[in-house]
Amino acid sequence: MRVPVPSRRAVLTGAAALVLGGALPRLALSQNTPAVPTPAGRLLKVGTADRIELAGSDPVSLFDGALPGPILRVKRGQPLSVAVANGLSGPLDITWHGVRLPNALDGVPGLTGPAIAAGETRDIRFAPPDAGTFWYHAFDGVLTRRALAGALIVEEETPAAFGADHVMLLQTWGVDATTQMPVITVNGAVSPTLEAPAASRARLRLINASPEFLPLRVAETQSWVMAIDGQPVTPFVLKDGRMQLVPGGRIDLAMDINLNGASANPINVQVELLRGPIELALIAPVGGSNTPAPASTPQALPANPLPSDIPLQGAVRAELAIGVAPADLARIPVLSTVPVGKSLVFALNNTSEVPVAVHFHGMPVRLLDGADDGWKPWWHDTVPVPAKRTVRVAVRPDTPGKWAIIARAAGTGEAVAAAAYEVK
């Protein structure tokens, strides 16, 4: 039997409702997110919201009292400057997920610079070399799952032409007691309505800030994948409107609004589970136009300055063994040491019964073909590895430092393997 999509009213009046006390996060429904650069020296205050209950949870930690944290924006190659004020009771490491940056700023205990001590304010400044959709969060997986996360959008020098550009940061909050379906918020709200001009093409920047593998579906219109993990791809149409979003991963979609003069009905973006779909958001055409949206394939986004080739002959090879025991994140071993530009190939061997997401700090990787004679035509910084499977990836690092590789189990987000490679 197909389970109906829970209505907003059913979810919001059930046990999964947001119960807000004095520390009120800004949970207004998302609007089109304008390309406004983050002010230089932007202050990010980290603290605990003492009287917020979300799906019966304990208090959450927030950036600037917002769920999720504020969207940070910067142009590619321009400096991003933030000051992080740690109002928590313990040290804090911030990871800039998918961003190529100096190793000291990567936010991994024991491998990079020191943590931000309780009560300390730390200035962080770097110039992202890649345009794309990224995010920032606590290295501590528990803090990340308890809301300490936000989007980082690095704009192209010349913004791509879209009628609307929406960031959708997805977080999960357990199971609703009324519907018995997972609770998923988009930008801190349950099933918000996002507006886009009719007869246009909209850009959706989906960020999976949850520990779940999320099978997406967009059924009512044609959508193209424009970027994976922040890196542009040759645009391709979603097959049957479906694509999986890996924990920590990102997908940029280009979506036709009011295609071929169809009626201006909202477009439903869903997560499609075995028990039935969950509505993530509605994309509502506005403006009343019946003019067809652009029918041609969208133009690819500008490429980022990544290696055009990864020489596999003579590459240094290593294996990351992934099991079920918790990884010791305080003592991350270095598997290999290479000079800048030397290729590495990693075998990600998942011996467990659950899929994992493996995040590569410092540099995105390519998924290798079965015979290691080529690679898939896109970059990843977060790689899915199914249960009882081995996946091989290749990387050609360009920045000195010790770069972490962390595998986290689906569902719990617990780190089940941790290693690093060193670049000198």
What's the confidence (pLDDT) of residue 279? 95
What's the confidence (pLDDT) of residue 27? 35
Of 8-17, 75-84, 121-130, 181-190, which range is least confident?
Answer: 8-17
Which amino acid, one-letter code, is at 341? G
What's the confidence (pLDDT) of residue 36? 57
| Between residues 135 and 15, the one the model is more confident about | 135
- State how far the Cα of 410 lies from the Cα of 354, in Å rounded to an integer: 7
Of 61-70, 141-150, 228-237, 410-419, which range is least confident?
Answer: 141-150
| Between residues 43 and 8, the one the model is more confident about | 43
Q: What is the mean pLDDT of the chain?
A: 87
* pLDDT band at residue 343 using 50, 70 and 90 as cut-offs: very high
- State how far the Cα of 60 lies from the Cα of 23, in Å rounded to an integer: 10
Of 41-50, 130-139, 178-187, which range is least confident?
Answer: 41-50
What's the confidence (pLDDT) of residue 22? 30
| Between residues 101 and 256, the one the model is more confident about | 101
CA distances from 309 to 364, 366, 401 (A): 13, 10, 22
Rounded to an integer, the average pLDDT of 150-175 is 94
Kindly list the structural domains of the chain, giving each domain's residue range(s) and its CATH number in brackets, ordered by start: 8-155 (2.60.40.420), 164-286 (2.60.40.420), 316-423 (2.60.40.420)
CA angle 354, 355, 359 (to 5 degrees): 135
What's the confidence (pLDDT) of residue 93? 97
What's the confidence (pLDDT) of residue 288? 60
pTM of the prediction? 0.90
CA angle 340, 344, 349 (to 5 degrees): 150
- State how far the Cα of 357 lies from the Cα of 379, in Å rounded to an integer: 15
Kindly tell me if the per-residue pLDDT of 9 is higher than 80.
no
Instruction: Using alpha carbons, select from 6, 384, 11, 378 the residue that is nearest to residue 214.
Output: 384
Kindly tell me if the per-residue pLDDT of 35 is higher than 70.
no
3-state secondary structure of 200: strand
Rounded to an integer, the average pLDDT of 119-128 is 96
Burial 200-217 (b: 16+ CB within 10 A, else e): bbbbbbbbbbbbbbbebb
CA distances from 360 to 90, 107, 338, 424 (A): 26, 13, 16, 17
Kindly tell me if the per-residue pLDDT of 75 is higher than 70.
yes
The CA-based dihedral angle spanning residues 29, 32, 35, 37, taken in that order and rounded to the nearest 10 degrees? -10
3 burial type by CB count under 10 A (0-12 exposed, 13-18 middle, 19+ buried)? middle
